[in-house]
């Protein structure tokens, strides 16, 4: 059962890859599905890695399938498990924990 603290809050997640076409689309859909199963509402924004700095100020975190070589002030999580399935539960747990921790800090 989702915690009442996270209900109603929509989290903004930037999903970045090299071209912002197929890979980020797959990751964004899977990410949204898995987080919503845990009771978290998310809005995903797909982009290329080079666009991350301009989108980060309005996001809670970034999930990237490529290296993000910028200091953007929000967490960046490896998105490769969404493609391979290896370590997927662990990365979704990590994302959930980051979002919930950031939500409590913002209150």
Residues with catalytic annotation?
17
Structure tokens at 14: 């930037």
End-to-end Cα spacing for the chain:
21
14 forms beta bridges with: 45, 62
């Amino acid at each position: 059962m989702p915690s009442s603290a996270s209900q109603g809050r929509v989290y903004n997640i930037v999903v970045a890859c090299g071209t912002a076409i197929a890979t980020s689309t797959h990751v964004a859909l899977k990410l949204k599905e898995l987080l919503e199963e845990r009771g978290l509402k998310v809005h995903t924004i797909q982009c290329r890695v080079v666009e991350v700095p301009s989108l980060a100020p309005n996001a809670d975190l970034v999930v990237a399938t490529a290296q993000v070589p910028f200091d953007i002030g929000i967490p960046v999580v490896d998105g490769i498990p969404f493609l391979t399935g290896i370590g997927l539960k662990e990365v979704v747990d990590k994302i959930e924990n980051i979002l919930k921790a950031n939500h409590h800090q913002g209150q």
